Amino acid sequence: MKHIVWALCILVTALGTASGADSVRWNLVGSIIAGSGCQKDVDSFASTNGNDLAIVFTNLGVDLPGQSGLPLAQRKNCSVRVPAEISQGLYIGELTQRITYGVTKSYGSRGSLATRSTFFGFNVSPHIVTVPYGQEINDPLLVSSRVEQFLVASSWYYGWCRSGRNPKGLYQANLAVSGQRSSDFEDLIMFVDGLDVKFEVIASLIHCGV
């Protein structure tokens, strides 16, 4: 039986900035990655490359192949907390969440992946992917994206650009993967060959007042 490996990458990128003061500065030592589907430095690994943060999970998935003796439902979750620092006077103008995943399921099963996150205390819209009952799917490469543009007149802008904003904050994400099948004969497996689930957050930083 294939063991499912989910890899979830969180990528936050500051575009068009050159100096260290105009970049995201991550603190991996102070990060927390924990839950029923993740444990920091055991099956969940964080790394940075300049402005980019990547977290890869290898145990955050649903593995319910069609056979008896396995449960009819399964759920795993993960909580991510990564300290970061962004200088005052910088504003996130656009944020993209992208989930790349694969699904093998029979007619009588369903699954979902849901993410809720905040950045420096500001809410990011939830991103939910569902694979419902009534469909047979065998697709190793599916992509779901959500793009949010935070306009200059928005409350997001005023929050980021307010005088005295604390330059230190957190990237926080709560993730839940769940699945259910109607009988032992049904299948529900979510995977992509190689990196099985990839969730990207791409943040474009611009200067306040520009």
Work out the number of other CB atoms within 10 angstroms of the CB of residue 74: 18
CA distance 168 to 173: 17
Residue of 119, 128, 130 whose CA lies nearest to 173: 119
Residue extents of the structural domains in the chain: 20-207
Q: CB-based contacts of 90: which residues, under 8 Å, 6+ apart? A: 14, 22, 160, 205, 206, 207, 208
**CA dihedral for 6, 26, 51, 96, sign (positive or negative):** positive
How much is the pLDDT for 16? Answer: 43
Q: What is the pLDDT of residue 11?
A: 52
Note the pLDDT of residue 201: 60
Q: Give the pLDDT score at 14.
A: 45
What is the C-alpha to C-alpha distance for residues 130 and 101, in angstroms, rounded to an integer? 11
Mean pLDDT by 10 residues, the chain (210 residues): 43 48 82 93 83 77 86 92 88 74 90 87 85 91 79 74 89 90 90 44 71
CA–centroid distance for 142 within its chain: 15
pLDDT at res. 5: 41
Specify the pLDDT at position 2: 38
Q: 10 Å Cβ neighbour count for 47? A: 12
The token pair at 139 is 């697709």
Beta bridge partners of 56: 45
